[in-house]
Structure 1
Amino acid sequence: MRTTADRIRHTLLFEIIGLCTCTPLASWILDKDMSRIGIMSIAISMTAMVCNYLYNLLFDKALVALNRPVNVRPTWMRVLHAVLFELSLLTLTVPFVAWWLDLTLWHALIADIGFALFFLVYAFVYNWVYDIVFPMPVAAENG
Structure 2
Amino acid sequence: MRTTFDRLRHTIGFEVFGLIILTLGISQLMSMDMKKIGVLAIAFSLIAMGWNYYYNILFDRFMLKKTGCVHKTTLVRVLHALIFELGLLTISLPIMAWWLNISLISAFALDMGIVVFYLVYAFVYNLVYDYVFPIPSEKA
TM-score by length of 1: 0.93
Residue 29 of structure 1: how far off its partner (Å): 2.2
Quick one: which amino acid aligns to residue 67 of structure 2? N
2:44 equivalent in structure 1: 44
* 3-state SS of 1:138 partner: helix
RMSD: 1.0
2:19 equivalent in structure 1: 19
Report matched runs for 1:71-110 at 5 Å.
72-110=71-109
- Residue by residue over 1:61-117, the C-alpha shift from the partner in whole angstroms, topping out at 9 and shown as x without a partner, is 1011213311x2111011111111111101110000000000111110111111111
In structure 2, distance between residues paired with 1:137 and 1:10: 15
User: In proportion to residue count, which structure has more helix?
Assistant: 2
Is 1:130 equivalent to 2:129 in the alignment?
yes
Quick one: which amino acid aligns to residue 63 of structure 2? L
In structure 2, distance between residues paired with 1:118 and 1:92: 17
Residue 133 of structure 1: how far off its partner (Å): 0.2
The runs of at least 4 consecutive aligned structure 1 residues that moved more than 4 Å come to: none
In structure 2, distance between residues paired with 1:111 and 1:67: 37
In structure 2, distance between residues paired with 1:29 and 1:104: 19
* Unaligned stretches of 5+ residues in structure 2: none
TM-score by length of 2: 0.95
Quick one: which amino acid aligns to residue 23 of structure 2? T
Residue 31 of structure 1: how far off its partner (Å): 1.9
In structure 1, distance between residues paired with 2:112 and 2:136: 34
Quick one: which amino acid aligns to residue 57 of structure 1? I
- Residue by residue over 1:24-79, the C-alpha shift from the partner in whole angstroms, topping out at 9 and shown as x without a partner, is 10112222100000000000000000000011000001011213311x21110111
* 3-state SS of 2:101 partner: coil
